Amino acid sequence: GAVVSQHPSWVICKSGTSVKIECRSLDFQATTMFWYRQFPKQSLMLMATSNEGSKATYEQGVEKDKFLINHASLTLSTLTVTSAHPEDSSFYICSATTGLRVLRGLAGVSYEQYFGPGTRLTVT
């Protein structure tokens, strides 16, 4: 199946620094990537939708200047948490989707979201 990776899997940083999280689709081209945030024992909350080559669309209440998203290619999206603070500590998960399924040479239409394993961010 389609594989999405995230790097790093966990990161600890000091308050005030910036952290970049990468999300890669390993065997397919992702026209759209989503970034989620998950607090302990809570739902995944969508932060933003990222389309390749265009600006990300942020959900209400998400600071776009704080959470910078770049989707420069069809296989890579990055989330940069700028000037991180302890309240930004969370589990960040990305997903990727494509309008055309090209896995294993099979042609078809698939819009399924494929999820990465997540990145645990701790800000001290």
Of 117, 114, 116, 118, nearest in space to 2 by CA: 114
**29 is a site residue for other proteins (CB under 8 A):** no
Query: Which tokens in the block code for residue 12?
Result: 């600890």
Residue with smaller CB distance to other proteins, 41 or 104: 41
Amino acid at 51: N
**49 is a site residue for other proteins (CB under 8 A):** yes
Q: How far apart are CA 80 and CA 55, in angstroms?
A: 14
Residue with smaller CB distance to other proteins, 84 or 92: 92
Q: Which residues bind other proteins (CB under 8 A)?
A: 4, 32, 34, 36, 41-46, 49, 93, 95, 97, 99, 110-118
